[in-house]
Amino acid sequence: MIKAMRFGLFAVISLVVPNLGFAADSADCSIFEDAGSPIEVIIEDEGPRTSPPASSDPAYSVRLVYPGDYRTFPRSEGAGKAVLYQDGENFLMRLDGGPLPLSMRHTLSGKPIKPRDLPPTVRFLLHDRYSLEKLLAIRVRIVTGQVWSFEMVPITTQATAIDGLVEITNKKISTYDNKYLFFSESNGKVTDIIECRKPDPGISPQCEHSFDHRNLDVDVSYDAGLAGRWRDIKNMVLKFTSCAYAEDILEKKEGSTRWD
């Protein structure tokens, strides 16, 4: 549990089954309708392979099945319909939960449309590496210039104008002095970590939002002006992951050298 010392006030500016169907956890997967052909990937657990290991046995990978229009990058021609084994997968989603396929990101002549001329979107990565408690300890140590470790250091915090978020106010090194670091808790457990860049002339500040869904780590990126809607964005992405989540796969068996 993170002990929050609250003082002051701060405001931020600004499925499935083996036949490749959908809807593993969610009763409503209508966002997947007419969103491209199903793609199947296995997201492998990176935890046992980090140094030091971020997690111990048993190691679970996750099978996802999702419509191709949500992919951030086009699938390689050679991939075909093969199941892909990856450390992570990147996605792009409109704020209404629908996809933004490649055809909507380019002109008829094939020229990429500038991001500012596209509908508002969120980008997110699904992978499996660190627990949120470990990730928060890493982030606090990095932004304050301390040695990389999973061990949490003492923190000072203050309440914010964003409902549910607490800001970590430890003195940062100059490299990270242009960022805010927030977290949220439920029943003494860290549930969300959000790191937002401060407004800067000529730069569109972004927020990086991390949370978990079952055996997946979720990292979401969106405009800092949307920070006040962090819960809505999280719920929208969770709807996607619930529909795409097919099964957990126990990868590390006794005597196996898969992660060695």
Number of domains the chain contains? 1
d(C-alpha 12, C-alpha 256), whole Å: 49
pTM confidence score? 0.83
Determine the pLDDT at residue 56: 63
Residue 178 domain boundaries:
30-73+80-250
| Phi, psi of 131, deg, nearest 5 | -70, 160
Determine the pLDDT at residue 49: 73
Q: Is residue 57 part of a domain?
A: yes
Q: How far from 169 is each of 1, 2, 7, 185, 242, CA to CA, in Å? A: 17, 13, 10, 16, 34
Q: Is residue 24 part of a domain?
A: no
Q: Residue ranges of the chain with pLDDT lower than 70?
A: 1-27, 56-58, 76-82, 251-260
**pLDDT digit string, tens, across residues 155-194:** 999 999 999 999 999 999 999 999 999 999 999 999 999 9
Determine the pLDDT at residue 67: 94
Determine the pLDDT at residue 27: 54
Determine the pLDDT at residue 78: 54
